[in-house]
Amino acid sequence: MSQGNSPIRRKLIVVGNGMAAGRMLEELFARVPDGFDVTIFGAEPRVNYDRIMLSPVLSGEKAYTDIIIHDDAWYMRHRIDLRRGDKIIAIDRTAKTVTASSGAQLIYDTLVLATGSDPFVIPVPGNDLPGVVTYRDLDDVEKMLLAAERGGKAVVIGGGLLGLEAAAGLALRGMETTVVHLMPILMERQLDQNAAYLLQKAIERRGIQVLTSANTSAILGESGVTGVQLADGRVLDADLVVMAVGIRPNATLARSAGLAVKRGVIVDDMLRTDDPDIYAVGECVEHRGQCYGLVAPLYEMAKVLAATLANESTLGYSGSVTATKLKVTGVDLFSAGDFSEGDENDEVVLRDPARGIYKRVILRSGQIVGAVLYGDTGDGPWYFDLIRSQADVAEMRETLIFGQAFQGGATLDPVAAVAALSDDAEICGCNGVRKGRIVEAITAQGLTTLDSVRSVTKASASCGQCTGKVEALLAATLGAGYPGGGRKPMCKCTDLTHDEVRGFIGTKGLKSVPAVMQELGWKTSCGCPSCRPALNYYLLAAWPGDYRDDPQSRYINERVHANIQKDGTFSVVPRMWGGLTTPDELRAIADVADRFKIPVVKVTGGQRIDLLGVRKEDLPAVWAQLNAAGMVSGQAYAKGLRTVKTCVGKEWCRFGTQDSTGLGVKLERLMCGSWTPAKVKLAVSGCPRNCAEATVKDIGVICVDSGYDIHIAGAAGLHVRATDLLGHVDTEEEALEVCAAVLQAYREQAVYLDRLYKWVETVGLETVRKTIMDDLGERRALYDRFLTSQRAVRKDPWAERVAGQELHEFTPLLKLNAVPLPALQD
């Protein structure tokens, strides 16, 4: 049907702006891009975000911006009228209108209810006191974060999935946390007693007290929460109480409109209510007597509803088998299907107490009906696929518990294992993405990278635990055409990647190399030359005020503060701030060269003087004499700042526009001593003629008449790369702040030994520009963290030791505290 040349666009109103509604609209737009005029009413004043990722936001692993599913541009691109913070309060089914709390009244052709669920609040005295929060949306998380800033004690009522994730997040935020659970075991709906026992031990090892078989009788306090009283008389002190005891479908609007409602809004297999123009999807739905609170069923419903609205043929929604994974960093847990006791059940169990592994697979009539995995969950998707397909596994029973890799008499590598899964196998539980969807996207759209698969399918875009399987699918689908090569472990000592290790250091509060190796299951006793320097750097970057730099985890050049040469002697390079020197410094260098018979004295490309051919045994005395003359190391060996090259600038050059030498000195004094993933070189050119070659440095500043152009990500070594323009600032103070913020972001995010340009290629120039140039608050936060780290470097006792000690302990940075450093006042 059409009017003229334009198709009639049906008026579609969606009540709710959550994950189910968002996925339904994605599927609908893919089928009929111009079929509907869409209006969304959302109770929250935000765009659609990933509620599954609230726990990483609470723990500090992610920020709100990291979990946005649909940004403002997405709504604009699809011409969606998004009504934020405006709830629908009434439906007139006869007039086919909805009325919002703002007073707006709109007509619909089709109405979709996606009102989600409400958290259950136990009916005890004090449940409405200030300090009592539920755990359902970002507002709840922000309340918990505010409470955590004040410190104190938190009580989480409920030992299910959400309760444990909340408790873990609050504990990581520094609160003394207790979990109160009514049932005898944690997560009783998803776990058996053995897995629950292991889980409780893991939770308690995090410093969280767990009370099971504990019934809450009252929440205490007058103007705010002060405690929780249990039915047995015990009182737990509390500054914050989190209710995480379950959810119930939000069917209030549907019920008031006269739609059929039991526990949730009753729908048929096409997600249609008993009104032919009204549909429902998500947690508010009751289908065949079942209500679902996990994302995979919601996304299955969304796909069916989109097909229905697009008038496509569909088999409809027939219900879901669900699987559960706990999103607490460092706790591996998977549960799926029915694992209740029964005479007709056959079970296969594997226990490995030393490794903390427990696996139980339940069979009935030769088929898997349930699986519980703790400590090693890699085969979870395979078991889940067998449960869903109701496959006959009788012939593989003897090896079933050892997982997919041991079937058929041969061991499968990860690529072969994921390739052997059925197209219906779920790969990404967070976003309900199945293998067939990923393979179809790879082949149809020519995807070749993990990021492109994430962008198109959402697989591995949330918690990231399925990243390895997605990469294996890329490798299996593309074969030799896949450039990624799969996950790259940090080294032979661990199966974890650099990013995973760095994440665990922060989330688990690991503050020493032995702690990292013990908690993350290192395969060797002391690490290796590849991982120890990386761990030392990651710990130094994560805990600048707490972690003590380990000299023995540094390379030889860093330990002796000189570069070893091919003949076994060393090269000593004192620092010359911004390329400037004085007659006294030159005399000191000449005296050292004479005294120690140093055969070669050379001017370097970084505007410094290099003393070549120093014997190892002379290094302490060489540095002692240079230190006495006021000179510190130029750190020509460092995974850190090396030089800031400058031209003479406007003070001497007729083309100069700014004081490039002065800015170079300030930058070098500001950044001196800052350890980074790889070497860092800067330059400041006084005009666009660029005599200091700033456009091939990690960070370069080009002075112009109106201020300073900041460039990043250059290189002039084996890989020659011109810089990218990051942005322009007007003042010298802004230039210092921007350069330090870039360096801090690089320090916090890059893989050890990756140069700055590799980091920019990984995260994207636009991301860096948005963070540093557009978000002034984030730039200031990065700058402040940089200053905090620099203060820790200046106060490190290791940097204040004097000559005469063992060579590996000696450092030529002992006068660093006396160096005036801009903006580093306490």
Provide the residue ranges of all domains of the chain, joining segments of one domain with +: 2-118+249-309, 132-245, 498-554, 557-637, 641-794
- Residue 279: alpha-carbon gap to chain centroid: 35
Q: Smallest Cα–Cα separation from 789: which of 732, 748, 731?
A: 748
Model confidence at 463, pLDDT cuts 50, 70, 90, reads low
Model confidence at 278, pLDDT cuts 50, 70, 90, reads very high
Give me the helices (H) in 311-409, please: 380-389, 397-400
Q: Which value, to the nearest 10 degrees, does the dihedral of the CA atoms of residues 331, 151, 142, 19 take?
A: 10
End-to-end, the C-alpha distance of the chain in Å comes to: 72
Give bridge partners of residue 641 from the DSSP assignment: 680
Which of 220-229, 516-525, 535-544, 595-604 shows the lowest per-residue confidence on average (mean pLDDT)? Answer: 516-525
Interacting residues of 5 by C-beta distance below 8 A, sequence separation 6+:
none
Task: Given CATH 3.30.413.10, say whether it is the number of domain 641-794.
Answer: yes
Model confidence at 408, pLDDT cuts 50, 70, 90, reads low
How many beta carbons lie within 10 A of that of residue 440, not counting itself? 15
- Residue 658: alpha-carbon gap to chain centroid: 40
Q: Are 602 and 609 in contact (CB under 8 A)?
A: yes
Top pLDDT among 506 and 714 is at 714
What is the residue type of 52? I
What is the residue type of 783? Y
Note whether 132-245 and 557-637 share their fold: no
pLDDT of residue 737: 95
Beta strand pairing status for 132-134 and 240-243?
Answer: parallel
Q: How far apart are CA 471 and CA 460, in angstroms?
A: 10
pLDDT of residue 562: 86
Residue 281 reports pLDDT greater than 80: yes
Q: Tell me if residue 121 falls in helix, strand or coil.
A: coil
pLDDT tens figures, 314-334: 899 999 888 887 767 667 888
Q: Smallest Cα–Cα separation from 549: which of 592, 575, 511, 494?
A: 511
347-370: average pLDDT = 88
Instruction: Check whether 647 is labelled as a binding-site residue.
Output: yes
pLDDT of residue 815: 41
Q: Tell me if residue 154 falls in helix, strand or coil.
A: strand
Residue 342 reports pLDDT greater than 90: no
Model confidence at 499, pLDDT cuts 50, 70, 90, reads confident
Element holding 371 (H helix, E strand): strand 367-374
Q: How far apart are CA 358 and CA 350, in angstroms?
A: 6
Q: CA–CA distance from 560 to each of 49, 124, 269, 589, 813 (Å)?
A: 51, 66, 72, 19, 12
Q: Are 251 and 115 in contact (CB under 8 A)?
A: yes
Which of 139-143, 276-280, 395-399, 698-702 shows the lowest per-residue confidence on average (mean pLDDT)? Answer: 395-399
Which of 162-176, 646-660, 723-737, 788-802 shows the lowest per-residue confidence on average (mean pLDDT)? Answer: 788-802
Q: Give the length of the chain.
A: 826
pLDDT tens figures, 76-116: 999 999 999 999 999 999 999 999 999 999 999 999 999 99
Q: Tell me if residue 560 falls in helix, strand or coil.
A: helix
Beta strands in 647-782 (DSSP E): 680-685, 699-704, 707-712, 715-716, 720-721, 724-729
285-308: average pLDDT = 94
Instruction: Check whether 466 is labelled as a binding-site residue.
Output: no
Q: Which two tokens stand for residue 567?
A: 């003949």
What is the residue type of 320? S
pLDDT of residue 805: 31
Phi then psi for residue 480, to 5 deg, are -65, -15
Interacting residues of 740 by C-beta distance below 8 A, sequence separation 6+:
670, 671, 782, 783, 786, 787
Q: Are 636 and 610 in contact (CB under 8 A)?
A: yes
Phi then psi for residue 767, to 5 deg, are -65, -45
Rg of the chain taking only CA atoms, in angstroms: 31
Model confidence at 183, pLDDT cuts 50, 70, 90, reads very high
Top pLDDT among 273 and 484 is at 273
pLDDT of residue 6: 52
pLDDT of residue 529: 86
Q: Smallest Cα–Cα separation from 44: which of 118, 112, 139?
A: 139
Q: Which two tokens stand for residue 142?
A: 């922000």
Q: Are 415 and 408 in contact (CB under 8 A)?
A: no
Q: Are 166 and 244 in contact (CB under 8 A)?
A: yes
Model confidence at 799, pLDDT cuts 50, 70, 90, reads very low
Which of 3-17, 372-386, 571-585 shows the lowest per-residue confidence on average (mean pLDDT)? Answer: 3-17
Q: What angle do CA 806, 808, 814 make, to 5 degrees?
A: 85
Q: How far apart are CA 133 and CA 118, in angstroms?
A: 13
pLDDT of residue 330: 66
Q: Smallest Cα–Cα separation from 506: which of 173, 67, 152?
A: 173
Q: CA–CA distance from 209 to each of 122, 178, 381, 528 (Å)?
A: 21, 5, 32, 37
Model confidence at 566, pLDDT cuts 50, 70, 90, reads confident
Q: How far apart are CA 458 and CA 685, in angstroms?
A: 44
717-727: average pLDDT = 89
Q: Smallest Cα–Cα separation from 474: which of 490, 489, 500, 456?
A: 456
Q: Smallest Cα–Cα separation from 662: which of 689, 684, 680?
A: 684
Mean pLDDT of the chain: 87
Interacting residues of 547 by C-beta distance below 8 A, sequence separation 6+:
511, 512, 539, 540
Top pLDDT among 540 and 254 is at 254
Residue 2 reports pLDDT greater than 70: no
Residue 812 reports pLDDT greater than 50: no
Instruction: Check whether 528 is labelled as a binding-site residue.
Output: no
pLDDT of residue 209: 97
Phi then psi for residue 588, to 5 deg, are -65, -40
Residue 204 reports pLDDT greater than 70: yes
Q: Which two tokens stand for residue 451?
A: 């990021």
Interacting residues of 512 by C-beta distance below 8 A, sequence separation 6+:
539, 547
Q: Which of 48-62, 295-309, 447-461 is most confident?
A: 295-309
DSSP 579-641: G---HHHHHHHHHHHHHTT--EEEE-TTS-EEEEEE-GGGHHHHHHHHHHTT--B--TT-SBE
Q: How far apart are CA 247 and CA 140, in angstroms?
A: 14
pLDDT of residue 822: 39
Q: How far apart are CA 229 and CA 214, in angstroms?
A: 10
Q: How far apart are CA 552 and CA 397, in angstroms?
A: 50
Which of 179-188, 208-217, 351-360 shows the lowest per-residue confidence on average (mean pLDDT)? Answer: 351-360
pLDDT of residue 549: 82
pLDDT of residue 253: 97
For domain 132-245, give the CATH number.
3.50.50.60
657-668: average pLDDT = 93
pLDDT of residue 810: 34
Instruction: Check whether 493 is labelled as a binding-site residue.
Output: no
Supply the pTM of this predicted model.
Answer: 0.61
Give bridge partners of residue 704 from the DSSP assignment: 707
Q: How far apart are CA 510 and CA 520, in angstroms?
A: 10
Q: How far apart are CA 580 and CA 162, in angstroms?
A: 59
Of the chain, the percentage scoring pLDDT greater than 90 comes to: 55
Q: Are 591 and 643 in contact (CB under 8 A)?
A: no
Instruction: Choose which CATH entry (3.40.50.2300, 3.40.190.10, 3.90.480.10, 3.90.1300.10) describes domain 557-637.
Output: 3.90.480.10
For domain 2-118+249-309, give the CATH number.
3.50.50.60
